[in-house]
Amino acid sequence: MSDVPKLRSFIAIELDRPTKERIAGWVSRIREPDDRIRWTAPATWHVTLRFLGDIDPNFVAPLRDTLREQLRDVPPFRTEWDRLAPFPPGRRPIVMALHPKHDADLRILAAKVEKALAELRMSRERRRFNAHLTLGRFRGRAPSPVPSPHSEGAPIVIPVREVTLFESELAPRGAVHHEMGRVVLAG
């Protein structure tokens, strides 16, 4: 058994500053003092393609290389996000999240990430990929009735130019993310 500490990690799309600023403006207009949502800091906003859990630090370089190989044909693209709604859908949502108008390109990207992980003999994700951007967590149980989806009107455009491998360090005030590698989409 290895004494090397594991790295809690995930693969995600990082948002650029202008996108975070636009989303932050939207959130500030819709949030209410008693909404029972602990809104997350813009610095932590990302679109998770795959949560990995705890990985060995020696796995980072091979993972980055395999991702680079799998994603070499993927061109940069843009996605439109237009709806804030509880996630997961149903009776017991955990978070308020921004959802894409269409997620076909994101699904393709997530499938390529999954293929890279399979090459490295990582177990497959059992859940279906469901693109969302967590903006807040419900305090305790979700309110009843669950908040209705909000729509901003004009969608928020998120450019997807690269995929980032992050370490997620749990801290009392929320997770802190550290970049461990980046793969630029060049297609």
- Per residue in 7-34, pLDDT tens? 999 999 999 999 999 999 888 888 887 7
- Domain containing 177 — which CATH number? 3.90.1140.10
Residue 1 forms part of a structural domain? no
Give residue 170's pLDDT: 87
Number of compact structural domains in the chain: 1
Half-sphere exposure of 101 (CA within 13 A, CB side): 13
What DSSP designation does 32 have? -
Show the domain range for 16. Answer: 7-184
Look up residue 165 and give its two tokens.
């491998």
Query: Is 23 contained in some domain?
Result: yes
Q: What is the overall mean pLDDT for the chain?
A: 90
Predicted TM-score of the model (pTM): 0.91
Residue 2 domain-assigned (yes or no): no
The three-class DSSP label of residue 73 is coil
Name residue 6's amino acid: K
Q: Indicate whether 22 belongs to any domain.
A: yes
